[in-house]
Chains A and B, each alone.
Chain A
Amino acid sequence: MLETRNLDKSFGAVHVTRNVSLKLERGERRVILGPNGAGKTTLFNLLVGELTPNSGSVLLAGEDVTALPVAKRARRGLSRSYQKNTLFDGLTVEENLGLAAAIHTGAGTRLWGDSLATPEVREIVAEVAEQVRLMPYLHAKVSEVSYGVRRQFEVGVALATRPLVLLMDEPTSGVGPEMAKGFHDLLNDLPRDLTLLIIEHDMDLAFDVADTITVLNYGEVVFDGLPEEARGSTLLKEIYLGSWEDA
């Protein structure tokens, strides 16, 4: 479903992504681990087109999308949530989800009619609100809901475009343990045919949700395998998991 071939990116002398090749099958849930500065978010930016690679390619559903701009990749089914909330604060939860859904259905560029009132958009909004447990907050403004709810909501906005592949950049960043547990359930309840690529520091979530784990270090893939293999990897303990094992 999503593949990278020898993806490489440098900022001047700093080599942030080194020859990264990944292949995600349809419905696969992969978690990317790695210490701070390992190039995880840069990889996401390369995948969605917010950054252009120096070399290498990105394939979505078998099609080379490397040259496509961000919006076109999104319309082909590649959606992402951000590490920091990028919601539309002055709008309600419903309006936020509706904006995203309207882009997906094409109602977002129509001159006639309220895009939020179309049956397709309303259906998507209701479905996504249910998926990310936002029904009680539907009419609240973003600024009125808690930080944890906003993190769920951030994922919801990305889901409202009905993606084939959803990239989530630290979805549980900054939320408490109880809320994080809710996130595990939320992610596990997402449709099984949706491909997920998740950057995460929460090890419990990583091992709970992931089918496969990729570890980046200094922009390079140093591990690619099953969660149980990751648990036993000495290399991982050295570069990343040591602190988790000790804890």
Chain B
Amino acid sequence: MFQHTALRYTALILLAVGAFTQAVTAGYFGLEILTEILLLAMLVLALDMVAGFGGMVSLCHGALMGVGAYAYAILTTKAGIAPPVALGGAIAITGAAAWVIGAIGARSHGIYFIMATLAFGQMAYSYVFEAPFFGGDDGMGGIPRIDLSLLGIDLNDSRSFALFCLVLLGATYGAAVLILRSGLGRSLTGVMHNEQRMRALGLTVWRVKADVFGLSGMIAGFAGALSAQHVMYISPGLLGWTVSGEALVVVILGGLGTLVGPMIGAAAFVILKHEVSNVTSYWHLVVGVLLIAVVMSRANGIFGWIEARWGARLERRLSDLTRKTDAEEITTDA
């Protein structure tokens, strides 16, 4: 079950401070990279919820992100709906699509679940690619950003948009924690540990899986709608399986089932991609080698390695500190 530890709080604070500093000090290119990291972090949070806490390794989360992006684009540019309403609509549509995928896939496990989600994702990709309504291969442009001018915020400014995404990522993280700590989230963890036993205790397993998959889809759709606003243009490539594959790589790289880890993974992945691609176009090779090293090290990703190395030490220090403070208070009282 999800638990916050001193190390996780520390990592969260460091991530938030790092992202905020970057958002207020970076130039245009730095802000674009930061926004890319924040949106990828949102997507991998959604994936970690189902893969790390429910054992549902999905290869359609990229497609769900794409559904969110396309739904937002169509609702704003074709239906003329106001962006905030369209954002809510896009989240709801993606959540519903994910719930259906979760409900159908809930009865399969392991590689079969992965293949089922891959098939759903590729079906969505092919449909969008072929359908003229979605702009086909050309994609769709002219997607508006949300207007917050009433609050004195111009989201067309890269810095404001990056800060906006940072706040929303924080809110999404909070929502993911609340979901995982709720009865539904705890039951999902029980299902991952022993599905047969949870069923024998009276739990409708498929429903729990579908519900959390739907909620995870809503977060992916949210990331997609923000991504569409970020680039102001979308193409079918957003729904391709490589996006889902990259998200899975990031989750494993960061630390499956930790929530914090995948966000670190997102930062590491995007920075690595940009830095290495400055030197060579074979950046995938470098990421591949790093992923193999992480998997071979048997640590649970970058954050899993950090937790194994420093987590216990930090908890011990904090507990010593608490004991010391308590002893001092007792002495003072005496």
Using a CB–CB cutoff of 8 Å, the interface residues on chain A facing chain B are: 48, 50, 69-72, 74-75, 79-80, 82, 86-91, 95, 98-100, 102-104, 107-116, 157-158, 160-161
Contact = CB atoms under 8 A, between A and B. Distances in A.
A112 B181 CA distance: 9
Contacts of B204: 71, 109
Given A109-B211, A111-B179, A116 B202 contact: no
A240 B127 CA distance: 66
Given A91-B1, A111-B182, A114-B182, A74 B200 contact: yes
A99 B182 contact: no
B1 A80 contact: no
A102 B186 CA distance: 9
B204 to A, nearest CB: 5
Contact of A71 (B179, B189, B193, B202): B202
A153 to B, nearest CB: 12
Most chain A Cβ neighbours within 10 Å, of B181, B197, B200, B215: B200
Interface in B190-224: 190, 193-194, 196-205, 207-208, 211, 215
Given A108-B186, A109-B211, A89 B201 contact: no
Given A86-B194, A86-B197, A103-B187, A115 B182 contact: yes
Given A103-B198, A111-B179, A71 B1 contact: no
Interface string B117-149: 000000000000000000000000000000000
Contacts of A90: 193
A71 B209 CA distance: 15
Interface of B: 1, 178-179, 181-184, 186-187, 189-190, 193-194, 196-205, 207-208, 211, 215
A103 B196 contact: no
Contacts of A161: 201-202
A110 B184 contact: yes
Contact of A108 (B181, B184, B196, B199): B184
Contacts of A79: 200-202
A118 B151 CA distance: 40
B193 A48 contact: no
Contacts of B178: 112
B172 to A, nearest CB: 15
A157 B201 contact: yes
B190 A99 contact: yes
Given A111-B184, A112-B182, A88 B201 contact: no
Closest 3 CB pairs of A and B: A115-B183, A74-B202, A88-B193
B209 to A, nearest CB: 11
A88 B186 contact: no
Contacts of B208: 109
Nearest to B190: A99
A15 to B, nearest CB: 25
Contact of B187 (A109, A113, A114): A109
B187 A99 contact: yes
Contact of A88 (B182, B194, B200): B194
Contacts of A109: 183-184, 187, 203-204, 207-208, 211
Given A88-B194, A91-B1, A99-B190, A110 B199 contact: no
A95 B193 CA distance: 13
B235 to A, nearest CB: 34
Contacts of B201: 74, 79, 99-100, 103-104, 157-158, 160-161
Contacts of A111: 179, 182-184, 211, 215
A88 B202 contact: no
Contacts of A71: 199-200, 202-205
A99 B181 CA distance: 12
A2 B201 CA distance: 18
A76 B196 CA distance: 17
A108 B184 CA distance: 5
A99 B205 CA distance: 13
Nearest to A167: B200
A110 B208 CA distance: 10
A12 to B, nearest CB: 23
Nearest to B193: A88
Contacts of A82: 197
Contacts of B211: 109, 111
10 contacts: A75-B202, A88-B190, A88-B194, A98-B186, A104-B202, A108-B183, A109-B211, A110-B183, A114-B186, A115-B187
Contact of A113 (B182, B200, B215): B182
Contacts of B215: 111
Nearest to B206: A71
A108 B99 CA distance: 18
A110 B215 CA distance: 13
Contacts of B189: 88, 91
A90 B55 CA distance: 14
Contacts of A48: 200
